[in-house]
Structure 1
Amino acid sequence: MNNLQKIGGVAALFEAAIYISAFVFFGAFWDYPVSADDAQKIIFLTQNQTILSIVNLTMYVAFGLFLAVLVLATHQRMKTKAPVLSQTASVFGIIWVGLVIASGMIATMGLGVVIDLSTKNADQAMILWVVINTIVEGLGGGNEIVGGLWVLLLSVAGLKIIELPKLLNCLGLFIGFVGILTVYPAEILTEIFGLGQILWFSWLGMIMLMNPQSNN
Structure 2
Amino acid sequence: MNMQRTGGIAALTCAATYIFGFVLLVTLLAELGYGTNDIDAEAVVRFSAENQTVLIVWNTVIYVINALALALLVVALARRFKMVSPEWSTIILAFGLVWTTLVLGAGMIANVATERAVALLAQGDTAGAVQLWKTLHAVELGLGGGNEIAGGVWIFCVSLAGLLHQSFGKTVVGLGILTGLGGFLTILPPLGDIAGAVFGLGAIAWFIAVGLTLVFERQTPSATTPA
Q: Report the TM range for the smaller structure's normalisation.
A: over 0.9
- Where does structure 1 lack aligned partners over 5 or more consecutive residues? none
1:181 — aligned with what? 185
> Is 1:201 aligned with 2:207?
yes
| CA distance, structure 2, for counterparts of residue 25 and residue 41 of structure 1 | 14
Q: How high is the TM-score relative to the length of structure 2?
A: 0.88
With over 3 angstroms needed to count, the CA separation of the structure-2 counterparts of 1:41 and 1:5, relative to structure 1, is closer
Q: How high is the TM-score relative to the length of structure 1?
A: 0.93
- Deviation readout 1:54-111 (Å, 9 max, x if unpaired): 1101110000000000000011111111211221121110011111011111100121
- Where does structure 2 lack aligned partners over 5 or more consecutive residues? 223-227
Report if aligned partners of 2:8, 2:73 keep a CA contact under 8 Å in 1. Answer: yes
Q: Give the C-alpha shift of residue 121 in structure 1.
A: 1.9
Q: Give the C-alpha shift of residue 214 in structure 1.
A: 3.0
Report if aligned partners of 2:7, 2:76 keep a CA contact under 8 Å in 1. Answer: yes
Report if aligned partners of 1:96, 1:146 keep a CA contact under 8 Å in 2. Answer: yes
1:117 — aligned with what? 120
| CA distance, structure 1, for counterparts of residue 66 and residue 4 of structure 2 | 18
| CA distance, structure 1, for counterparts of residue 104 and residue 18 of structure 2 | 15
| CA distance, structure 2, for counterparts of residue 127 and residue 191 of structure 1 | 28
Q: Give the C-alpha shift of residue 215 in structure 1.
A: 3.2
- Deviation readout 1:166-191 (Å, 9 max, x if unpaired): 23112211111111111123222111
Report if aligned partners of 1:12, 1:66 keep a CA contact under 8 Å in 2. Answer: yes
Q: Give the C-alpha shift of residue 39 in structure 1.
A: 6.1
Q: CA RMSD in A?
A: 1.9
Report if aligned partners of 2:77, 2:92 keep a CA contact under 8 Å in 1. Answer: no
- Deviation readout 1:113-151 (Å, 9 max, x if unpaired): 111122242112111111111111110112111111111
- Report 1:1-216 matches (<5 A): 3-33=2-32, 41-118=44-121, 119-185=123-189, 186-211=192-217, 213-216=219-222
- Number of corresponding residues: 215
74-83 or 193-202, which deviates more: 74-83
